[in-house]
Amino acid sequence: METRDIAVIGGGPAGLSTAISASRFGVETILFEEHENIGLPWHCAGIASSSRLKSLHIEGFDKAVLAEFDTVDIYLSLRHAFTVISDVPQLILDRISFDNLLAEKASSSGVELKLRSKVKALRYTYDNLVEVYTDSARYKCRVVVLAEGLPGVLARNLGFDTKSLSMLPSIQYLARVDPPLTIGIVEVHLLPGLSPPFFVWVIPIDTDLCRVGLASHNPRKLKPLLESFLSKRFKNWHILSESRWVISVGGPLRSTVKKRIILVGDVAGQTKPTTGGGIVSSIVCGTIAGRISGLASTRNDYTLLDMYEALWRKFLGFNFKIQKIARKAVDRMHWRTLSSIVESISREYQELRVVDLDTQIDLILKLISSPDLASKIVGSLLKPRTYR
Ligand SMILES: Cc1cc2nc3c(=O)[nH]c(=O)nc-3n(C[C@H](O)[C@H](O)[C@H](O)COP(=O)(O)OP(=O)(O)OC[C@H]3O[C@@H](n4cnc5c(N)ncnc54)[C@H](O)[C@@H]3O)c2cc1C
Beta-strand relationship, 351-354 and 79-93: parallel
* Same domain membership, residue 202 and residue 347: no
Tell me which of 211, 222, 279, 323 to substitute to probe ligand 1's pocket, judged by most ligand atoms within 8 Å of the beta carbon: 279
Q: What is the domain-level CATH number for residue 224? A: 3.30.9.10
Predicted structure pTM score: 0.95
Confidence of residue 246 (pLDDT cuts 50, 70, 90): very high
Same-domain check for residues 7 and 103: yes
Beta carbons within 10 angstroms of residue 113's beta carbon:
19
For residues 228 and 363, membership in a common domain is answered with no
Residues 179 and 306 in one domain: no
Number of domains in the chain: 3
Confidence grade of residue 374 (pLDDT, cut at 50, 70, 90): confident
Q: Is residue 52 part of a domain?
A: no
Q: Looking at the CA of residue 213, tell me the nearest atom of ligand 1.
A: 1
Q: Which of 187, 220, 248 marks a domain boundary?
A: 248
* Host domain of residue 297: 2-47+95-165+251-317
Residue 320 reports pLDDT greater than 90: yes
Residue type at position 99: D
Q: What is the pLDDT of residues 329-340, one digit of tens each?
A: 888 888 888 888
In terms of domains, do 34 and 142 share one?
Answer: yes
Are both 173 and 230 inside the same structural domain?
yes
Mean pLDDT across the chain: 92
Cβ of residue 286 lying under 6 Å from some atom of ligand 1: no
Do 35 and 116 reside in the same domain of the chain? Answer: yes
Please say which residue of 269, 289, 317 terminates a domain.
317
- Per-residue pLDDT, averaged over 223-233, amounts to 96
**Looking at ligand 1, which residue's alpha carbon is closest to its atom 2?**
44
**pLDDT band, very low/low/confident/very high, at 88 (cuts 50, 70, 90):** very high
Ligand 1 in contact with 359 (CB < 6 A)? no
Q: pLDDT band for position 181 (50/70/90)?
A: very high
Of 281, 301, 317, which residue sits at a domain end?
317
